[in-house]
């Protein structure tokens, strides 16, 4: 069996729910990038943890090859990065958020690295520019 | 501006201002954008720091939502249904009941539909006074998390969540009473464990 056959996108196609995978991975080992001085600032980790409870099963998850092969988990992480947008209704108001990351380790769900989590304003995420 | 992939890291610090205090711990930092990696180790240090802060400065873990006389009267009435529970305990339980109802989207939707009624106006009207509500470290982190998501202050998060559950409590129609039965069961469970 090769890597591609076991990759998480393929597992999802076999009926495994993406959201369940994300929640399990986050509870096992969560690496969260926050507070960049340049670039787009992520919401704090505490915001991600409460949002995780309400994220709906994403309908459009975009997968692409991971560019970075350096850094923590890069060597044993999945080769593909996922990203999607979702909306949350909070206090009767709908807000849109963008989430990007990758699972680790290859072949075994050990955790997740969240690279981006932020509130979406029009044209503000790579998905909107596509 | 594109998203940084945090390709290369260097040794640095994770920092966070929280409850008027500053947390700082060694962490990996992205060479390119300066983002900090909050891994298991940093999260553990932050949680330990928060626990110590809670034991030293309990007052910082208190939130002061503003409630009208109508809300306070409702809380007094509700307290009779939950023996031994103070107003602040009920508010705390109602806050998390609403915020975590997201796991059951049907209940959340039902609660919102009741909230947009005349009850909404009644609960908000009149002179307001603050009610100090204390939270443990996990609770205060969650309240602030919701504040960061919604862009509203923590006290407002508590107010909005409480008003929504109270609106269900006051509902008199059949649908409202059914939802209240479900909500009450959960509220009882939370207050028993408090």
Residues B117-167: pLDDT tens digits? 677 778 888 899 999 999 999 999 999 999 999 889 999 999 999 998 888
d(CA B93, CA B116): 22
A65: nearest CA in chain B?
Answer: B5
pTM value is 0.87
The residues spanned by each domain of chain B are 9-56, 61-193
Cis peptide before A105 (omega within 30 of 0): yes
Of B169, B165, B179, B187, residue with least CA distance to B110 = B179
The two structure tokens encoding residue B19: 């409850």
d(CA A19, CA A107): 18
Mean pLDDT of B169-187: 86
Helices (H), A7-55: 8-13, 18-28, 45-54
What does chain B come to in residues?
194
Per-residue pLDDT of chain A (130 residues; tens, 9 = 90+): 344 444 455 555 455 688 888 998 999 999 999 866 666 678 999 999 999 988 988 888 999 888 776 667 777 788 889 999 998 887 878 889 999 999 987 777 889 999 999 998 766 777 776 6
The answer, for A17 touching chain B at a CB cutoff of 8 Å, is: no
d(CA B51, CA B94): 24
Q: Do A104 and A80 meet the contact criterion of CB atoms below 8 Å apart?
A: no
pLDDT at B72: 93
pLDDT at A47: 95
* Whether B37 and A33 lie within 8 Å, measured CB to CB: yes
B131 burial class (0-12, 13-18, 19+ CB within 10 angstroms)? buried
Q: How many CB pairs under 8 A join A and B?
A: 131
Of the pLDDT bands very low, low, confident and very high (cuts 50, 70, 90), residue B1 is very low
């Amino acid at each position: 069996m090769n890597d591609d056959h076991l990759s998480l996108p393929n597992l999802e196609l076999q009926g495994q729910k993406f959201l369940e995978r994300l929640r399990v991975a986050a509870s096992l080992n969560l690496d969260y990038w926050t507070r960049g001085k340049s670039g787009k600032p992520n919401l704090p980790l505490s915001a991600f943890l409460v949002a995780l409870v309400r994220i709906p099963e994403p309908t459009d998850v975009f997968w692409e090859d991971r560019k970075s092969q350096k850094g923590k988990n890069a060597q044993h992480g999945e080769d593909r990065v996922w990203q999607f947008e979702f909306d949350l209704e909070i206090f009767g108001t709908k807000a849109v958020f963008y989430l990007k990351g990758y699972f680790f380790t290859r072949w075994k769900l050990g955790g997740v690295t969240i690279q981006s989590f932020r509130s979406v304003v029009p044209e503000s995420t790579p998905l909107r520019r596509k | 501006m594109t998203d940084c992939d945090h390709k290369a890291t260097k040794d640095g610090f994770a920092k966070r201002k929280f409850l008027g205090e500053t947390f700082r711990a060694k962490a990996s930092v992205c060479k390119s954008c300066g983002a900090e990696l909050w891994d298991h180790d940093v999260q553990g240090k932050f949680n330990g720091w928060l626990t110590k802060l809670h034991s030293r400065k309990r007052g910082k873990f208190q939130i002061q939502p503003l409630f009208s006389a109508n809300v306070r009267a409702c809380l007094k009435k509700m307290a009779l249904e939950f023996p031994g529970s103070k107003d602040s305990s009920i508010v705390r339980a109602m806050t998390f009941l609403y915020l975590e109802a997201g796991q059951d989207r049907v209940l959340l939707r039902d609660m919102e539909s009741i909230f947009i009624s005349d009850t909404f106006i009644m609960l908000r009207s009149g002179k307001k006074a603050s009610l100090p509500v204390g939270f443990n470290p996990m609770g205060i982190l969650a309240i602030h998390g919701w504040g960061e998501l919604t862009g509203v202050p923590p006290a407002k998060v508590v107010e909005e969540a409480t008003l929504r559950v109270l609106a269900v409590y006051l509902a008199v129609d059949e649908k409202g009473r059914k939802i209240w039965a479900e909500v009450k069961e959960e509220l009882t469970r939370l207050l028993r464990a408090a």
